Amino acid sequence: MKISTKRFCTIAAAASFIFGSFFSNKLADDPITVSVVKEAEKLSGLTLSVSQEDSMLSGLNDHLKAYAELRKLAVKNSIVPALNFNPVPVGFVYPDKTHGFLLDKNSITKIPADKNELAFYTIRQLADLIRTKQISSVELTKFFLDRLKKFNPKLLAVVSFTDDLALKQAEKADAEIAAGQYRGVLHGIPFAVKDLLSAKNYKTTFGAAPYKDQVFDVDATVVKKLEDAGAVLIAKLSLGELAMDDTWFGGRTNNPWDLSRGSGGSSAGPGAAVSAGCVPFAIGSETWGSIVEPSNNCGLTGLRPSFGRVSKFGAMALSWSMDKLGPMARTVEDCAIVFNAIQGKNPNDLSTISAPFKYDENVKSLKGWKIGYLKTDFASNYPNHHNDSLSLIKMKELGATLIPIELPKLPFTYINFILDAEAGAAFQELVLTHRSDLLARQEKAAWPNIFRTAQFIPAVEYIQANRVRTLLVQNWYEKLKGLDLYMSPSYSDNLLLTNLTGNPCVVLPNGFTAKGLPTSITFMGQLFGEGKTLEAARIYQQATGFNQKHPQNFIN
């Protein structure tokens, strides 16, 4: 039923009495009355008697007083709720029994005659050059800083350059390597991070005008782990404001394959910068598609790890129970290398879970592997149907046994307001102080309206949705038993499903559109099954080679 604008405003006004005024920190002084409750009932789908409504008044007014007191605390975004989502289902058995990380030992790389070719070298190739002293970390760092500065006016991918820090880290890497203290394949390799990760003494803007001068005095755990591995931070990259889309306070981040298009979001800067050969890899984040979309649009390989695999300490919180951090790079192998360095339990992040990770590049065949595929999704009429069909054929050629599966029957598409509720809490202060008006996007589908709307989500319904989520986690675990992994179109309801259950995915190129734009497919893992997912995706990638094509305007 369509509600008139006048009628809706009456209901909203009533609810604002109960849930607290949206337009200032000062809650309404007028007491809640039965007529107010009657209007507010419509937002929760309730029907109560007059006596029941009257009995609620003292409790509702007490709630208002409590809200007012709690809002005085101005709790920071970095403070997590005393609730912790655990994606592990009952009876869960870890896919990997032991830890182990083995790379192919036959990697030999020579410095190219044209050093511009280094722009699209993989982590492993660059590591060979550094390890064998064919190039120094300082030289490589300056090379990528120069490319970022050259192309950033076209891409709008950089929020902050970290030149001083980068050169100090590169000099340190060169000194250690010269002294025989080689830390591994990331030693001396430049990288960048999405600007929702803190780097000490540098701005962490969240891509949003209200936070554009924000500085933290701590390194995010992921940044610290990469520094410990010897990697060199050269820039903080754009994200669509507060992790939505590809528009930030500096403009729209553009796609290197077609500068008239956005790069996709919200890991917009990582997508554009890595694709254009301006940095070997970057760290992105995903809550609902923010690694998958820019990886697809920009022709990259991205890894969205299992929920709890990688610490979010030092990262902007959008949804405490759905946020995940992961690498965006040129190859599956690159993603595996970075993931191996950043994954693991962290005492500063209670959502992290200790789980074995086993990855072996000696695995060269998919023969005997049982790989599911979403039959109905792949059979439907959607833009990338042709390329995805060829991907399934290729998997059969590589020896995999493909097993049809279907998405759960549970109504999981109706619990996506879990994200809205958590985001509305994370950024409630923007609504209360009117600073949401400073955000670039103000349409109905943008954050300001979502944050305001989220204030009306009843706590009871949020909890009920999470109970359905528990059923979903268990249902999906049982359905996937016996499979090594499964495959899905990059865009389908599976994207929401697995961001709710916490399952990992690898998104990688699988062809091009008629206009020459990259397309992708996703390899979906069992929970904490990154090892096999990466191995299968690597075998497919090496057999197809779509990742070896790059945007022509950025080759030199």
CA distances 60 to 13, 56, 66, 436, 457, Å, are 15, 6, 10, 27, 16
Which stretches of the chain score pLDDT less than 70? Answer: 1-29
Cis peptide preceding 436, ω within 30 of 0: no
| 369 burial type by CB count under 10 A (0-12 exposed, 13-18 middle, 19+ buried) | buried
H/E element, 128: helix 123-131
* Dihedral angle computed from the Cα positions of residues 420, 424, 427 and 428, in that order, rounded to the nearest 10 degrees: 170
Residue spans per domain, the chain = 1-73, 114-411+466-543
Query: Residue 373 has what pLDDT?
Result: 98
Strand partners, 346: 349
What does the pLDDT look like over 116-136, one tens digit per residue? 999 999 999 999 999 999 999
For the chain, what's the residue count? 556
Pick from 174, 280, 150: which is nearest to 554 by CA?
150
Residue 550 has phi, psi (to 5 degrees) of -135, 160
Query: If DSSP states are collapsed to H, E and C, what string results for 145-171?
Result: HHHHHHHHHHHCCEEEECHHHHHHHHH
Q: Which residue has the tokens 């029941």?
A: 52
pTM over 0.75: yes
* Dihedral angle computed from the Cα positions of residues 522, 527, 531 and 532, in that order, rounded to the nearest 10 degrees: -60
Amino acid at 183: R
- Whether 405 and 374 have beta carbons less than 8 Å apart is answered as yes
- Whether 158 and 133 have beta carbons less than 8 Å apart is answered as no
Paired sense of beta strands 232-237 and 190-194, if any: parallel
How many angstroms separate the CA atoms of 34 and 53, rounded? Answer: 6
**DSSP characters over 354-381:** ----EEETT----TT-EEEEEHHHHHS-
CA-only gyration radius of the chain, Å: 24
Amino acid at 48: L
How many angstroms separate the CA atoms of 426 and 111, rounded? Answer: 48
How many angstroms separate the CA atoms of 311 and 507, rounded? Answer: 21
How many angstroms separate the CA atoms of 384 and 382, rounded? Answer: 6
H/E element, 9: helix 5-19
The class level of CATH for 114-411+466-543 reads alpha beta
Q: Which residue has the tokens 């305001």?
A: 452
Strands, E assignment, 154-231: 158-161, 190-194
- Whether 15 and 32 have beta carbons less than 8 Å apart is answered as no
Paired sense of beta strands 485-489 and 370-374, if any: parallel
- Whether 490 and 522 have beta carbons less than 8 Å apart is answered as yes
Which residues have C-beta within 8 Å of that of residue 91, sequence separation ≥ 6? 477
Residue 519 has phi, psi (to 5 degrees) of -125, 170
What does the pLDDT look like over 50-95, one tens digit per residue? 999 999 999 999 999 999 999 999 999 999 999 999 999 999 999 9
Which residues have C-beta within 8 Å of that of residue 93, sequence separation ≥ 6? none
Query: Residue 19 has what pLDDT?
Result: 53
Buried-exposed string 475-512: b where 16+ CB fall within 10 A, e elsewhere: bbbeebeebbbbbbbbbbebbbbbbbbbbbbbbbbbbe
Which two three-digit tokens encode residue 80? 């997590």
Which residues have C-beta within 8 Å of that of residue 345, sequence separation ≥ 6? 311, 352, 353, 354
CA distances 522 to 39, 218, 293, 348, 365, Å, are 46, 34, 11, 31, 19
Query: Residue 107 has what pLDDT?
Result: 75
Which residues have C-beta within 8 Å of that of residue 85, sequence separation ≥ 6? 307, 320, 321, 322, 351, 466, 502
Query: Residue 5 has what pLDDT?
Result: 38
Strand partners, 283: 193, 327
Backbone CA torsion sign across 5, 11, 12, 14: positive
What is the separation of C-alpha 443 from the centre of its chain, rounded to a whole number of angstroms?
23
H/E element, 324: strand 324-329
